[in-house]
Amino acid sequence: QRARQLPTLSERDVVNEVVGAASAAVEPAREGPRVVVLDYGAKHNIVRSLQRRGAAVTTAGPEATLDTILAGRPAGIVLANGPGDPAALAGAVELVRDLLRTDLPIFGICLGHQLLALAAGATTSRLPFGHHGSNHPVQDVRTGAVHITSQNHEFQVDRESLPAASGFYVSHINLNDGSVEGLAHRERPVFSVQFHPEGCPGPQDNQYLFDEFFALLAARAGE
């Protein structure tokens, strides 16, 4: 009886439960490209992976607005991971939709990937069986390469719901159940993955995705 009375994930504001007060700047003094990490419960190794490549990283919490983000003149945006049902985060989806109207490189991870999909017009749903652990095979359909990934999520992007007019396509698939594991835009510097390229602990196969993001930052800086 007590278990039936518990609220579902969709009824809880779990992002604010884990993020807490407004996020502060992490290391804004570096000389490298300024990257804003939208923190919905971000793993520390996302920030470290960016810093190792020379980024000046700032974090912004769920209360961030487009104006406050752009005021820092970022070179790119990382939509970080976090808990819960992405469809319950209407404000975050609207912010990502606004960010998509800019020309900034954007990299989504886990919940950030789902928010990006929702902003592009897709839907999400709960997986029959959640993905957890560090041994999930994922294929990068752009190259055919298969990587072992670290995962921890209960929701997925619904493949058939992704509008063709959005410009996004499925870039990664889960080889266990065929679910969507990544999206990329055909023309713009925007992509995302469902798994954790920063996996810590976890396989380091997927750190190459941070290199891809930095290549997009460098390309934009050279325009």
| Contact of 194 with 183, CB cutoff 8 Å | no
Mean pLDDT of the chain: 91
Residue 48 Cα distances to 36, 108, 203, angstroms: 13, 16, 16
Nearest to 176 by CA among 132, 207, 209: 132
pLDDT at 22 over 80: no
Q: Which of 113, 147, 153, 198 is catalytic?
A: 198
Instruction: Say if residue 194 is exposed, middle or buried (CB neighbours under 10 Å; 0-12, 13-18, 19+).
Output: buried
pLDDT category at 218 given cuts 50, 70, 90 is very high
Lowest model confidence (mean pLDDT) among 9-18, 37-46, 161-170, 189-198: 9-18
Q: Which of 44, 196, 200, 212 is catalytic?
A: 196
Residue 61: predicted pLDDT: 87
Global model pTM greater than 0.85: yes
Residue 25: predicted pLDDT: 46
Question: Averaged over 116-129, what is the pLDDT?
Answer: 97
Q: Which of 110, 136, 172, 185 is catalytic?
A: 110
Active site residue 136: no
Active site residue 196: yes
Residue 21: predicted pLDDT: 43
Active site residue 110: yes
pLDDT at 27 over 80: no
pLDDT digits (tens, 9 = 90+) for 53-110: 999 999 998 889 999 999 999 999 999 999 989 999 999 999 999 999 999 999 999 9
Peptide bond into 201 cis (omega under 30): yes
